[in-house]
């Protein structure tokens, strides 16, 4: 029971209070780049969720049984980049062969996020927080879901910005960044929510 | 010293395993690829911009090779070079690809058409069109708020006296403006060919059109009678030119009492 409670707490924290995009400012590039339409935003986010969970599942044992054992924790960043990139390529090859529809749905986004800082960030933060394997997996899932939430919400905001009369100086990226900061500020409203539920 | 060696060995080993694993996987899980699609893919720029309407360059190449798509000119970044290269791969003669440019088929500038209301809303044709069809008397004409200007990736379009005009030198016929225009006024016309073009889309009856615009097509059928090749027809009170049949003799343009038909001879400089 205690375990389930902790996992739920980690999940909600990763989605809401410690949202990777809006609170930790990781993965800003895809957040601004592919959030023009809800459809592409959700496709990208699904790929991110998939890769995040997969990357955690692979990097956790590598860290525990290889890097920690030989006192090589300082190699985490480079080894993880290597492993995640190779893993995603492998997954892409396998998906292309056996699950054509999923491959088409994730499409171009899968290779794009191999070295996404949010993906690397989640595996490094899992280790930094001394999470167990199960907690790490849940945290990665939550981070991915939080990314989905932020992307889809922001894509909705941007679709509405399209039909607004924006001053010329602010058109394009400037108004997008302002909107992103407002969405980020609104997420600060979740501060303390998770603690008060599970505290 | 020893720790460096262990580190080097471990990273190198992981890299080697990953590399070998990928190499084995790419052979073991190889998907037979269509050679034709692969060849077409080589002709495309690889920007994956989606302007062709497919899921990226791979999608377009696959559609072309399977016969799902036949138009080789859809790639706007690749332009005519890519179109020709694809045509060669597909065995369609390159001459089949006629260079085209987009043209705005409306002459309803401020001098020719009156305004019925003072529009102060969002500067967008899409928005303005929702309010009584736009501020101009003619609800079929160009609104001049420049949705096409914003859509054009090549900065080929500008608004001139309330009507959009396209610079044929910059236009790459990517159809972005055609898909954007809420009045469907933009069409692709062949380049370097003298042809007649009807610069009006007004479907109202002649008497009504006359009140709205000085150069609106009134559907008088004079052009149909003047054309010796049967290239001009009138449907829904507005004339159409069949570009396949038109030889550019200009008789319809001469006969048109409102000068809605013009001879177009678009050239790039």
- Provide the CATH number for the domain around residue B63: 1.10.15
Cα A186 to the center of its chain, rounded Å = 19
Q: Are strands B163-166 and B186-190 parallel, antiparallel or unpaired?
A: unpaired
Do B64 and B173 fall within a single domain? no
What is the pLDDT of chain B when averaged over all its residues? 84
Note the pLDDT tens digit of each residue in B175-186: 888 888 999 999
- Domain end among B75, B96, B117: B96
Judge whether residue A152 has pLDDT over 80.
yes
**What is the rounded distance in angstroms from the CA atom of residue A21 to the CA atom of residue A28?**
6
| pLDDT the model gives residue A5 | 86
- Cβ contacts of B60 within 8 Å, gap of 6 or more: B40, B44, B52, B54, B69, B74, B75
Judge whether residue A108 has pLDDT over 80.
no
- What ipTM was assigned to the predicted interfaces of this complex? 0.70
| pLDDT the model gives residue A115 | 66
Do A69 and A99 contact (CB within 8 A), yes or no?
no
Judge whether residue B95 has pLDDT over 70.
no
> Which of B6, B22, B56 is the closest to A89 by Cβ?
B22
Q: Is residue B23 part of a domain?
A: no
Residues B91-103 as b/e (b if ≥16 CB within 10 A, e otherwise) read eeeeeebebbbbb
Note the pLDDT tens digit of each residue in A156-169: 998 888 878 788 88
Using the Cβ of A93 and the Cβ atoms of chain B, whether some distance falls under 8 Å is answered with: yes
Mean pLDDT of B92-105: 72
H-assigned helices in chain B: 2-28, 35-43, 57-65, 79-90, 125-129, 147-151, 176-180, 206-212, 222-226, 251-255
- Residue from A15, A23, A45 nearest A33 by CA: A45
**What is the rounded distance in angstroms from the CA atom of residue A53 to the CA atom of residue A134?**
11
Using the Cβ of A75 and the Cβ atoms of chain B, whether some distance falls under 8 Å is answered with: yes
Q: Is residue B192 part of a domain?
A: yes
What is the pLDDT of chain A when averaged over all its residues? 85
| N- to C-terminal Cα separation, chain A | 14
Contact across the interface for A90 and B22, Cβ inside 8 Å: yes
Judge whether residue B76 has pLDDT over 60.
yes
**What is the rounded distance in angstroms from the CA atom of residue A95 to the CA atom of residue B110?**
58
Q: Is residue B19 part of a domain?
A: no
Do B61 and B129 fall within a single domain? no
Where in the sequence is the domain holding B218, given as residue range(s)?
100-265
Report the domain count for chain B: 2
For residue A110, give how far its alpha carbon lies from the nearest alpha carbon of chain B (Å).
Answer: 14
Q: What is the CATH number of the domain that holds B116?
A: 3.30.70.20
Q: Is residue B17 part of a domain?
A: no
**What is the rounded distance in angstroms from the CA atom of residue B132 to the CA atom of residue B130?**
6
Note the pLDDT tens digit of each residue in B142-165: 999 989 998 888 888 999 888 999
Do B49 and B169 fall within a single domain? no
- Residue from B266, B269, B260, B236 nearest B248 by CA: B266
Contact across the interface for A96 and B29, Cβ inside 8 Å: yes
Do B256 and B180 fall within a single domain? yes
Do B89 and B194 fall within a single domain? no
- Domain end among B96, B118, B146: B96
Q: Is residue B9 part of a domain?
A: no
Residues 6-35, chain B: which have Cβ within 8 Å of A?
Answer: 6-7, 10-11, 14-15, 18-19, 21-22, 25-26, 29-31
Q: Is residue B131 part of a domain?
A: yes
| pLDDT the model gives residue A178 | 92
| pLDDT the model gives residue B97 | 56
pLDDT band at B93 (very low <50, low <70, confident <90, very high): low
Q: Can you read off the two tokens belonging to residue B66?
A: 């399977």
Judge whether residue A184 has pLDDT over 60.
yes
């Amino acid at each position: 029971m205690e375990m389930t409670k902790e996992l739920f707490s980690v999940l909600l924290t990763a989605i809401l209070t410690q949202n990777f995009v809006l609170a930790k400012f990781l993965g800003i590039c895809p957040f601004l780049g592919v959030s023009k339409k809800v459809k592409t935003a959700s496709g990208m986010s699904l790929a991110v969720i998939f890769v995040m969970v997969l990357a955690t599942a692979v990097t956790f044992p590598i860290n525990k049984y290889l890097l920690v054992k030989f006192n090589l924790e300082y190699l985490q960043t480079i080894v993880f980049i290597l492993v995640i990139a190779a893993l995603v390529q492998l997954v892409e090859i396998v998906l292309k062969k056996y699950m054509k529809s999923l491959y088409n749905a994730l499409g171009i986004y899968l290779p794009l996020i191999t070295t996404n800082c949010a993906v690397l960030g989640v595996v490094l933060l899992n280790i930094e927080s001394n999470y167990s394997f199960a907690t790490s997996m849940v945290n990665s899932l939550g981070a991915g879901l939080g990314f989905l939430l932020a992307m889809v919400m922001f894509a909705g905001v941007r679709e509405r910005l399209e039909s607004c009369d924006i001053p010329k100086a602010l058109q394009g990226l400037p108004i997008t960044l302002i909107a992103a900061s407002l969405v980020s500020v609104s997420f600060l409203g979740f501060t303390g929510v998770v603690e008060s539920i599970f505290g | 010293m020893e720790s460096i060696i262990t580190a080097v060995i471990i990273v190198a080993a992981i890299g080697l395993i990953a590399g070998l694993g990928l190499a084995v996987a790419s052979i073991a899980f190889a998907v037979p690829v269509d050679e034709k699609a692969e060849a077409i893919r080589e002709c495309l720029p690889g920007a994956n911009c989606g302007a062709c309407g497919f899921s990226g360059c791979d999608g377009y190449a696959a559609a072309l090779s399977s016969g799902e798509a036949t138009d080789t000119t859809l790639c706007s970044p690749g332009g005519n070079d890519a179109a020709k290269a694809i045509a060669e791969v597909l065995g369609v003669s390159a001459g089949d690809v006629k260079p085209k440019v987009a043209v705005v088929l409306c002459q309803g500038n401020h001098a020719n058409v009156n305004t019925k209301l003072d529009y102060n809303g969002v500067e967008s044709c899409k928005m303005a069109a929702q309010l009584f069809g736009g501020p101009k008397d003619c609800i079929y004409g160009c609104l001049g708020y420049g949705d096409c200007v914003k859509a054009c990736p090549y900065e080929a379009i500008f608004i001139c006296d309330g009507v959009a005009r396209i610079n044929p030198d910059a236009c790459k016929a990517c159809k972005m403006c055609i898909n954007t225009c809420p009045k469907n006024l933009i069409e692709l016309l062949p380049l370097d060919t003298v042809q007649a073009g009807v610069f009006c889309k007004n479907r109202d009856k002649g008497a009504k059109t006359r009140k709205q615009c000085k150069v609106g097509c009134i559907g008088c059928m004079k052009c149909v009678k003047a054309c010796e090749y049967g290239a001009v027809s009138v449907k829904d009170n507005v004339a159409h030119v069949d570009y396949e049949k038109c030889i550019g003799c200009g008789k319809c343009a001469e006969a048109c009492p409102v000068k809605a038909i013009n001879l177009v001879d678009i050239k790039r400089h």
